[in-house]
């Protein structure tokens, strides 16, 4: 009678199948609690945490330097930039584009600096479906090793104003 | 302040439950419930338009109106509808169930006025097109100051209701209006109110400086810090919903089947776990945000959060188990599931709650915990998998349970009978079915990476072309069809409730008409009338094999979904 007042001392430990279920649920919660740190050490896919404070204007300047230094081609007027394997790459979220197009090599590791120079954006690499959140003022470093090759599209998946559904980019991975 | 001698001017005796219903509090239950349903309708019309826009072959709205309606939908559903109804629950659970008058009628008026003004102001500015910032209003995106001010006024009003609720609990205890401990439903409501205070404080930290900024008085709040505190509001609000929803589960379980909590200690401990361990869970919106260490993210999502998951898993057992015991006590002992078939499925209050528990657990809960895992979040953040998850918790779970509650509130509080009861009986199935279809459409489209909050899934016209697998578009079509079905179910609900409340036959001085057969109702009444009198006498030996099978199926589904996601994660590029 969940609407009436229990009287007297109603305190008692669970018994029978209720006790079994509480125990089983607790075990399952512990399994999930252990899986996450286990994967942190053993797994190859972990959420990046390396972050630096950056002024949006300074970040844009670094992006432009990066493009000038490593541009190899262009597509639809967007520069294609090939960072040195193992080196730093830059990806800028701006209303409404991901700039520039990156050209990477399969199996090589890159430190991709992602930031926004205006609103919040969502970096989403397709069709892999890999996503991170991008904030202005935060230089977020994703240490990424492409394990597949081909052309990968980038979209924005955080609302960033009326042109949000036009905000795309690209990563090209050579085998 | 002496309330020892209550008069009949102060309360009426319910002809169905025998509880005392305090007239002043009753008026506020009604007022808040009516306002809730009004804002539900606004949010629902927006919902239909959104579903018909995300359905990529239809794309009904223009881009501007899509984002505007998305803002309208989020704010009206997640803030105004659900919190107004929760305020109604707080008034009911504190006064009627504790047999006490309301602490302060004046405060109740003040809070109602503040909340109403706030809700109208925010709606006005959204429809005026000066607040296309979506529910979360992430800076640097900026809305008209009235948008923030309206929400702040609404929140202050809600805080006052919480204060009035706690003060009512206090005077009930002081005046000894009840013996023993407060009822479980009140305990659940108190849990919701405590979490509400924590949520609203976080909301103030995020939104008050943002309001000042929009007025040009201060600098913009750091976007990352804003997200941290905004989700302290946004996620805690969902825990208010969960606690209130579970309280409604227990309430309807008793009213419709005569169920009694198997073990008060276990049920109440589970509510306390919500209070203690949910306040860290806001982190799982920030799992792929810059600025937080891996340790911070993991601590805040696992060790602490999983005790709140444990709480939900406990309620997921105790609610059906209490019903199973009640049904077996009535003699429905055939096999493992004989009791299940004989549950009062024709009672829309019951079927809404049963569907709510199933949808919340099997779809909302499993996906929520899995997607809220630090690494798995990489392939879920901001995709349609997220709305696929929370429409199963907050709509299929909370809103559907609240609809079920309304099938009892209308006859018991408004004292009006329903018309077209046949339609009422199928309404929860139409609404719940629609939400399940829509939620699955969203979730599967999201596994292809289809983004949430995006007008055109194909980004047509972008400088660098992109696009999705045709299957993803089929899933968006399923989303649209589910959305239409859910809208029909919701409209039916509003029509039934409005027709009953304003034009329904009066039930004054009468017992609530049963949704079940007279014989079934008599058995339920018989169990309820025995109350706690026979504690531990004749039912302790009754086992719950049916519920055990149900929860084991649940655990198996959970484990399969959880590990399947880890397997999918292993296929991604390496990232750290």
B440 found inside a domain:
yes
Residue A129 belongs to a domain with what CATH number? 2.60.40.420
Mean pLDDT for B468-484 is 96
The tens digit of pLDDT for each residue in B148-174 reads: 999 999 999 999 999 999 999 999 999
Is B476 part of any domain? yes
Of B17, B183, B451, the CB nearest to A157: B451
Whether B147 maps to a domain, the answer reads: yes
Higher pLDDT, B539 or B406: B406
For chain B, say whether A27 makes contact (Cβ under 8 Å).
no
CA distances from A148 to A107, B420, B450 (A): 8, 59, 20
Q: Is B284 part of any domain?
A: no
**Chain B residues closer than 8 Å to A14 by CB:** 263, 265-266
Check B573 against A148: CB less than 8 A apart.
yes
> Strands across the sheet with A78-81, in order?
A71-75, A78-81, A101-105, A168-174, A150-156, A121-126, A130-134
Q: What ipTM was estimated for this complex?
A: 0.95
Residue B94 lies inside a defined structural domain of this protein: yes
Residue B459 has pLDDT above 90, yes or no: yes
Last residue of a domain, one of B487, B506, B525: B506
The pLDDT assigned to B540 comes to 62
Chain-chain contact of B294 with A7 (C-beta, under 8 angstroms): no
Q: What is the pLDDT of residue A4?
A: 79
Q: How many CB atoms lie within 10 A of CB B425?
A: 17
Nearest to A2 among B179, B183, B452 (CB): B183
* CA B83 remoteness from chain centre: 9
- Taking only the tens place, the pLDDT of each residue in A28-41 is 999 999 999 999 99
Q: Give the model's pLDDT for residue B172.
A: 94
Q: Is residue B32 in a domain? A: yes
- Domain housing A131: 51-174
Is B271 inside a domain boundary?
A: no
B346 pLDDT exceeds 70? yes
Confidence band, pLDDT 50/70/90 cuts, at residue B541: low
As to burial, measured by CB atoms within 10 angstroms (0-12 exposed, 13-18 middle, 19+ buried), residue B109 is middle
Instruction: Please say whether the dihedral angle defined by the alpha carbons of residues A156, A162, A165 and A167, taken in this order, is positive or negative.
Output: negative
Q: By the 8 A CB rule, do B151 and B207 touch? A: yes
The answer, yes or no, to whether residue B420 has pLDDT greater than 60, is yes
Dump pLDDT digits (tens) for B128-140.
Answer: 999 999 999 999 9
Q: Would you say residue B291 lies in a domain?
A: no
Which pLDDT band, with edges at 50, 70 and 90, does A16 fall under? confident
User: A37 vs B298: CB contact, 8 Å cut-off?
Assistant: yes
What is the secondary structure of B357-413 as a DSSP string? HHIIIIIIIHHHHHHTSTTGGGGTTTBTHHHHHHIIIIIIIIIHHHHHHHHHHIIII
Predicted local confidence at residue B4, as pLDDT: 39
Average pLDDT over chain A, rounded to whole? Answer: 95
Q: Flag whether A8 is in a domain.
A: no
Any domain includes A128: yes
Residue among A1, A9, A76, A98 with most chain B CBs within 10 A, to mutate: A1
Number of structural domains in chain A: 1
Predicted pLDDT at A47: 95
Tell me if A140 is assigned to some domain.
yes
How large is the average pLDDT for residues A93-114? 97
B462 to A24: CB separation less than 8 angstroms, yes or no:
no
Identify the domain containing residue B73 by its residue range. 26-191
Query: Per-residue pLDDT averaged across B520-535, rounded?
Result: 79
Residues of B in contact with A75 (CB under 8 A): 464
**Contact B383/A131, CB-based, under 8 Å?**
yes
The structural domain count of chain B equals 2
In terms of CA atoms, which chain B residue is nearest residue A32? B302
Does some domain include residue A38?
A: no
């Amino acid at each position: 009678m969940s609407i009436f007042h229990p009287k007297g001392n109603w305190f008692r430990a669970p018994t029978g199948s209720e006790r079994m279920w509480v125990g089983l649920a607790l075990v399952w919660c512990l399994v999930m609690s252990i899986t996450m740190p286990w994967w942190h050490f053993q797994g190859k896919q972990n959420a990046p945490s390396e972050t630096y404070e950056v002024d949006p204007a300074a970040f844009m300047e670094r992006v432009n330097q990066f493009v000038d230094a490593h541009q190899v081609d262009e597509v639809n007027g967007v520069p294609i930039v090939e960072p040195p394997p193992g080196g730093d790459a830059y990806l800028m979220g701006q209303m409404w584009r991901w700039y520039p197009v990156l050209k990477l090599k399969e199996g090589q590791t890159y430190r991709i600096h992602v930031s926004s120079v205006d609103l919040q954006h969502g970096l989403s690499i397709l069709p892999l479906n890999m996503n991170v959140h991008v904030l202005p003022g935060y230089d977020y470093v994703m240490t990424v090793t492409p394990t597949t090759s081909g052309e990968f599209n980038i979209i924005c998946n955080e609302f960033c104003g009326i042109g949000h559904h036009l905000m795309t980019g690209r990563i090209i991975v050579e085998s | 302040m002496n309330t020892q001698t209550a008069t009949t001017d102060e309360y009426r005796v319910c002809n169905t439950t025998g509880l005392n219903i305090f007239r002043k509090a009753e008026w506020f239950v009604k007022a808040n419930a009516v306002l809730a349903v009004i804002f539900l309708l606004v949010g629902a019309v927006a919902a239909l338009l959104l579903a018909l826009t995300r359905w990529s072959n239809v794309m009904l709205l223009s881009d501007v109106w899509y984002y505007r309606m998305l803002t309208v939908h989020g704010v009206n559903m997640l803030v105004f509808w659900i919190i107004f109804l929760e305020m109604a629950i707080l008034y009911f659970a504190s006064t009627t169930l504790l047999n006490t008058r309301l602490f302060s009628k004046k405060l109740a008026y003040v809070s109602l006025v503040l909340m109403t003004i706030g809700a109208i102001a925010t709606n006005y500015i959204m429809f005026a097109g000066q607040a296309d910032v979506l529910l979360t209003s992430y800076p640097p995106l900026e809305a008209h100051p009235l948008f923030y001010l309206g929400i702040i006024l609404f929140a202050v009003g809600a805080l006052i209701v919480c204060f009035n609720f706690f003060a009512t609990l206090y005077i009930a205890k002081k005046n000894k209006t009840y013996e023993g401990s407060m009822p479980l439903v009140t305990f659940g409501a108190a849990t919701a109110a405590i979490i509400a205070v924590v949520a609203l404080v976080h909301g103030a930290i995020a939104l008050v400086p943002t309001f000042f900024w929009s007025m040009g008085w201060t600098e913009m709040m750091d976007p990352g810090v804003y997200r941290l505190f905004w989700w302290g509001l946004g996620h805690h609000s969902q825990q208010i919903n969960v606690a209130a929803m579970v309280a409604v589960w227990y309430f309807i379980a008793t009213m419709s089947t005569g169920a009694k909590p198997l073990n008060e200690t276990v049920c109440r401990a589970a509510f306390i776990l919500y209070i203690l361990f949910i306040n860290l869970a806001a982190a799982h919106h920030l799992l792929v945000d810059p600025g937080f260490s891996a340790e911070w993210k993991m601590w805040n999502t696992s060790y602490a959060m999983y005790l709140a998951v444990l709480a939900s898993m406990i309620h997921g057992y105790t609610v059906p188990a209490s019903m199973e015991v009640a049904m077996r006590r009535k003699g429905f002992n055939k096999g493992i599931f004989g009791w299940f078939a004989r549950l009062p499925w024709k009672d829309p209050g019951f079927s809404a709650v049963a569907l709510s528990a199933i949808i919340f657990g099997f779809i909302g809960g499993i996906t929520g915990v899995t997607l809220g895992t630090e690494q798995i979040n990489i392939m879920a953040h901001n995709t349609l998998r997220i709305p696929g998850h929370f429409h199963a918790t907050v709509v299929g779970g909370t809103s559907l349970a609240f609809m079920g509650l309304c099938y009892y509130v209308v006859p018991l509080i408004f004292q009006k009978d329903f018309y077209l009861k046949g339609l009422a009986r199928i309404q929860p199935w139409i609404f719940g079915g629609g939400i399940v279809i829509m939620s699955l459409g969203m979730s599967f489209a999201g596994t292809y990476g289809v983004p949430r909050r995006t007008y055109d899934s194909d980004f047509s016209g972008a400088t660098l072309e992109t696009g999705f697998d045709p299957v993803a578009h089929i899933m968006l079509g399923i989303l649209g069809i589910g959305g239409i079905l859910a809208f029909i179910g919701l409209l039916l609900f509003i029509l039934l409730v409005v027709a009953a409340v304003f034009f329904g036959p009066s039930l004054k001085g009468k017992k609530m008409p049963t949704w079940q057969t007279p014989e079934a109702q008599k058995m339920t009444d018989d169990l309820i009338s025995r109350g706690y009198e026979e504690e531990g006498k004749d039912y302790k030996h009754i086992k719950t094999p049916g519920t055990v099978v149900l929860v084991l199926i649940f655990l198996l589904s959970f484990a399969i979904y959880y590990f399947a996601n880890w397997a999918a994660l292993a296929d991604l590029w390496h990232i750290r």
